[in-house]
Amino acid sequence: GLAALTMSFLSGAAVHAVPAERRQPRFAWSAGVGVLLLVVILASHNYTLPEYTAPSPRSEQPVAIIDFESFYPPDRVGMTAWVTEQPHNTPLVQQYLSGQPLVKARALLEGATVENIRHGGASEEVLVSTPAETEVQFYTYYFPGWRGYVEDQEVEI
pLDDT, the chain, mean: 81
Split into its structural domains, the chain has a count of 1
Vertex 42 angle, CA 40 and 43, to 5°: 65
Residue 40 lies in a domain: no
Residue 51 inside a domain? The answer is: no
Whole-angstrom distance, CA of residue 114 vs CA of residue 129: 7
pTM score above 0.85? no
In a domain, 138, yes or no: yes
Domain that holds residue 142: 57-155
Whether residue 26 lies inside any domain: the answer is no
CB 91 within 8 A of CB 105: no
Q: Is 122 left (phi over 0), alpha (psi -120 to 50) or beta?
A: alpha
DSSP state of 20: G
Identify whether 91 is part of a domain: yes
Residue 67 lies in a domain: yes
pLDDT at 131: 92
User: Which ranges of the chain have pLDDT less than 50?
Assistant: none
Please tell me the predicted confidence (pLDDT) of residue 24: 65
Q: Supply the pLDDT for residue 145.
A: 80
- Give the DSSP letter string of 40-108: HHHHTGGGGSPPP-PPPGGGGSTHHHHHHHHHS-GGGS---TT-SS-----THHHHHHHTPPP--EEES
- Burial readout 13-41 (b: 16 or more C-beta within 10 A, e: otherwise): eeeeeeeeeeeeeeeeeeeeeeeeeeeee
Q: What confidence tens digit (pLDDT) does each residue in 45-75 have?
A: 888 888 888 999 988 888 888 888 777 766 6
